Chain A
Amino acid sequence: MNKAKHPLIRLHGVTKRYGATVALDNVDFSCFPAEIHAILGENGAGKSTLMKLLSGVIQPSEGDVFVDEEIIRLKSPGHAIDRGLICMFQELSLVPDLSVRENLLLGAKDARYGFAKKHHLADARVLLDKIDASHVQLSTRVSDLTLAERQQVEIAKALSRQPRLLILDEATSALNSTVVEKVFDLIREQRDRGTGVLFISHRFHEIEAIADKISVFRNGQHIETFANGQYNYGAIINKMVGQSLTELFPTPAPRTISSTVLTLDSLSWNGEIKDVSIDVKAGQILGLGGLDGQGQNHVLQALFGLLKHTTGDAAVNGTQGMPRSPKAAKGKKYGLAWVPEDRKKEGLILEQSIQDNLQLAALGHASAPAQAVFEKLISSLELKYQSLEQPVAALSGGNQQKVSLIKWLVISPTCLLLSDPTRGIDVKTKTQIYQLLVELSKQGIAIILLSSDYEELVHLCHQVHIFYDGEIVDTLSDESLNAQNIIAASLNMHKKSSEAHA
């Protein structure tokens, strides 16, 4: 194979900002034809932003994108597809109400709005057969397919478009290992024909099996690119971890022996939570870690009475059984409060005033909190506002999150459930929230903190459960609670590496 001289795509000084958050920070990156290039990084490292940039979904705030050494602005996914940059997205890009056939043809370069040529479907059919999806009928509606079948269709859709650069974002997460092996054969075939492949996966052994090169990203920066096999697990994880920012975190409350507030006994739901058992004591901060969407958030939703048909048992605050609705969960018997991850959609009513939002959780609660309770919390969290009549939408992200927290704290929960409370907010607010959490735990409130930031898990939590594919794969505390172990367990590598050490 002759080595191509110039890269297929090249990023030069690319920065992408969303408001105050920097998702990609001055990134230089290249991908050559005929190579499989894996991208590794923690949650929020910038992998997804990179993919979205290359597929035309978003445009860089600064810097240039070169395709074939020609500077180009990818205005839309259609534009990128015309250039041969084909992306298979993590959030499935199939239209649920259309049939497999219609999805395969949707947006195809030569038949975007006209009539498709016959060869197109024939190609896709051959590809589907090659990856063990011969049972998938082209006339089936996509919403009737299983998750794995959808992924197979996605792969066939991407490959049937003759990509020059194939971007695979978690392309194989729902497939079993035999199918994955067949998909890999197809990807290698593509590479040998000169296609460049960008491969994002959280399954480390897959990267090891298929990648030619590996690039590590951290906090929106491109750290290093190296050949597959150059470093061992440990070294790669250290590259993903980076420097610790201990000064952000207050000293955690010492762990005292206290009574259990909440127990979950083998909770399962809909194949997305598998046999999860949890035990939280008064004054304890329990961390839930892992990659996005491994079932952690569903556990909190289940505890807050949002999921139907869960199995397993729970006891909260001496009350047996799962709460059946959020109203029951926040009631005196359970004493739970949940601050959801998406504050704009689930946590707050943006158009309503600060005052109205603050009172929302306490509505219908047995004991209405006094005005003094609000004022105390507002001043201790230093909520910045002009008037309580101001709509919440006018506040900054950090202050919105404070409103979302105070709203629940006024009902004095015995156990506080938090879904990534510091995502996308500024450092100062983060430290204030950390301070508050430690303060609350000293007062004896049990806290379950779901976080995608491993620093928070290391520095704030007494114990951390790591989720992978709906199960708790590892529980870390004391000495074992460090960034390396969290990342290794998140990637479900710990079993492998500990076997290797043993």
Chain B
Amino acid sequence: MLDVFKRYRRECIAFFVLFALLSLYIATHPRGASTYVMTIWANQCLILALAAIAQFFVVVVRGIDLSVGAVMALTNCAASYLLNGSGFELVYGSFMVIALGTACGLINGLIVVFGRIQPIIVTLATGSIFTGLALLLRPTPGGSINYDFADAMTLDIVGIPTAVWIALLIILLFWFPLRQSGMGRSIYAIGSSEQAAFQSGISVNTVRIIAFALGGTFAGLAGSYFSYVTATGDAGIAANFTLNSIAAVVLGGVALSGGVGTLIGALLGACILKTISSLMFFSGLPPLAQPLIEGLVLATAIAIGSFGILTEKNRLRVFD
């Protein structure tokens, strides 16, 4: 037990912080811990959590994805056309929306690997393109999602928000393979030491492309879920989600230098960030102070994460 705590120290800390914040939120909320309050909270958290997981896959291979929000916007706009039918159309539409996200991530990965360009530049450019496409699809917010389908995804099952069930399903489907399969190990390995991974016989290029594509898949999922919650298509959501996804992974203990961090960490980070903004909404603090508080929380988290540099004995290593 102690071993698990040691190994997942960052996640445990994030979990306790979230627990404290959430307790405070429920305590201060006028309607308390009702299913209704929890469902709204969980829906908001899951949107950002999916975006943070998208960011996580790219960050863990030592990249950064500035197109997460743009892919969400594009898939959201696509969903507003594809998810307003019924029956089989919905299954087909859901699949296509996620495939679109994956394709966006794949494009990012291919350009990064074969163009040998830094991820930050590539995703800045492609992000702009994806936003542009989203605007072509939906110049103004509009369209609709099948209401029954959207309700099913955003209400609750046996009193527990559907969003929580989805989060549990994702953890189940991705947590185990990520730590136990060769592919998962390879993703962490190229983020931690590309050279060591290469020398161990890993095809560094393929693995990096797959990581970017997985990032795209989750950005697509985030876009889909955003559609269920808002039931409309909006091309203007990109910037906010990109920045918050980066903040969330940092809060969740994912190292921007790559190789360190977990999917659960990214998820917890996103929940912390969302809970802070919800708290402030009910705390009576002026809304304009919100960015200030969020910024302080983020800066503190980053500062704690980089204490290691102080113990380095060779000054040149600080620059590596």
Please list the residues of chain A having a beta carbon within 8 angstroms of any beta carbon in chain B: 55, 57, 76-82, 87, 89, 91-98, 102-103, 105-109, 111-116, 139, 141, 269-270, 298, 301, 305-309, 325, 346
Contacts and interface: CB of A to CB of B under 8 A. Distances in A.
Nearest to B183: A113
> Interface centre among A95, A114, A305, by most B CB within 10 Å?
A95
A486 B316 CA distance: 30
A113 B313 contact: no
A108 B182 contact: yes
Given A105-B185, A108-B182, A113-B186, A93 B199 contact: yes
B117 to A, nearest CB: 17
Nearest to B187: A113
Given A95-B259, A307-B313, A77 B182 contact: no
26 contacts: A77-B199, A78-B201, A79-B201, A80-B201, A82-B201, A93-B196, A95-B197, A95-B200, A95-B259, A96-B196, A96-B259, A97-B188, A98-B192, A102-B185, A102-B189, A105-B182, A112-B182, A112-B186, A113-B182, A114-B183, A116-B182, A139-B7, A301-B314, A301-B316, A305-B315, A346-B316
Contacts of B259: 95-98
Nearest to A112: B182
B180 A92 contact: no
B28 interface: no
A95 B195 CA distance: 9
Nearest to A161: B201
A95 B196 contact: yes
Indicate the size class of the contact surface on chain B: 20 to 34
A346 B313 CA distance: 18
A307 B186 CA distance: 34
Contacts of A111: 182
Contacts of A309: 313
A109 B202 CA distance: 10
Contact of B188 (A98, A108, A112): A98
Contact of B189 (A98, A108, A269, A298): A98
A178 B185 CA distance: 33
Contacts of B191: 97
B181 A93 contact: no
A57 B197 CA distance: 12
B193 interface: yes
A202 B7 CA distance: 37
B2 to A, nearest CB: 12
Interface of B: 3, 7, 179-183, 185-186, 188-189, 191-193, 195-203, 259-260, 312-316
B176 to A, nearest CB: 10
Nearest to A93: B199
Contacts of A103: 200
Query: Which 7 pairs between the two chains have the least Cβ-Cβ distance?
Result: A107-B200, A78-B201, A107-B201, A97-B192, A93-B199, A81-B201, A113-B182
A96 B192 contact: yes
B153 to A, nearest CB: 31
Nearest to A114: B182
B241 to A, nearest CB: 28
A91 B194 CA distance: 13
B203 A78 contact: yes
A175 B14 CA distance: 39
B316 to A, nearest CB: 5
B315 A106 contact: no
Contact of A308 (B181, B192, B313): B313
A91 B196 CA distance: 9
B202 A97 contact: no
B195 A91 contact: yes
Given A95-B197, A98-B185, A103-B200, 5 more contacts: A57-B199, A106-B200, A114-B183, A139-B3, A308-B313
B186 A106 contact: yes
Nearest to B260: A97
Nearest to A80: B201
Contacts of A91: 195
Given A95-B189, A113-B182, A270 B202 contact: no
A98 B179 CA distance: 10
Contacts of A92: 196
A23 to B, nearest CB: 18
A109 to B, nearest CB: 8
